[in-house]
Amino acid sequence: MNDKGKSNWWIFGLIVLIGVLPWIGAWYLVEHPGLWGDPANHGRLIQPPLAQDYGVFRPLPGARKPLQEIQGRWVLIHLIVPGDEDGCRRLLEDTRRLHPLFSKDIPRIRRLAVWAEDRPPAAGLLKTMRADRDLYLATVPESFLRRLETGVFGKAPRCGQLLLMDPLANLMMWYDAGFDPFGLYRDLKRLLRASRIG
């Protein structure tokens, strides 16, 4: 083979390498995130998951969204605790903004705000929550919050904390106040991709 033929094969090989190398690199980074990604959960796992009865969530009188719609779905449970209205508003706003990002998976996800029956939220916050068309509202017995305090958080629940409940009604993960909303998004996207239920 003459020098011209060798030169053509070298150029052909270089073109193929330039076309194939990015695909191989992308596949490797997806399969082995290492330094370029975080394969771990952003929330904290609840070990073992706490099984719930949907009956613990009591509908708010006059609520426009029936609580039966949360059954068999992934539920983001917002804890509304008096005393930190700003933290509650921030949490509700963060999840409201995240919700559309799930696009085709929106029907699989529900947002639920809960508070103790004897400790209702401030009137302004309640009005804001009632105006949110994607938010379900419910009260819970004090025993539910005590169970979270002893079995999950290790301290009293506060505004800004969020629980993730799977379609089988297991509390499986929680996020402390001030968490990164996009960490929640990545965790839930991963769970939705792996799950066929909900």
Q: Indicate the pTM of the whole model.
A: 0.79
Residues 57, 173: Cα–Cα separation, whole Å: 18
Sign of the Cα torsion 154, 160, 163, 164 reads negative
Which residues are registered as beta bridge partners of 51? 170
In terms of C-beta density within 10 A (0-12 exposed, 13-18 middle, 19 or more buried), how is residue 75 classed?
buried
Which CATH topology does 44-194 take? Glutaredoxin (3.40.30)
Residue 38, pLDDT score: 56
Which helix (H) or strand (E) is 8 found in, with range? helix 3-31
pLDDT below 70 — which residues of the chain?
Answer: 1-7, 30, 32-40, 198
Amino acid at 65: K
**Domain edges within the chain:** 3-36, 44-194
Strand residue runs (E) in the chain: 44-51, 58-59, 74-79, 109-116, 135-140, 162-165, 170-175
| Distance linking the first and last C-alpha atoms of the chain | 63
Residue 1, pLDDT score: 53
Residue 149, pLDDT score: 92
The single residue listed with the structure tokens 């006059």 is 62
In terms of C-beta density within 10 A (0-12 exposed, 13-18 middle, 19 or more buried), how is residue 19 classed?
exposed
Contact 145, 59 (CB under 8 A): no
Residue 59, pLDDT score: 92
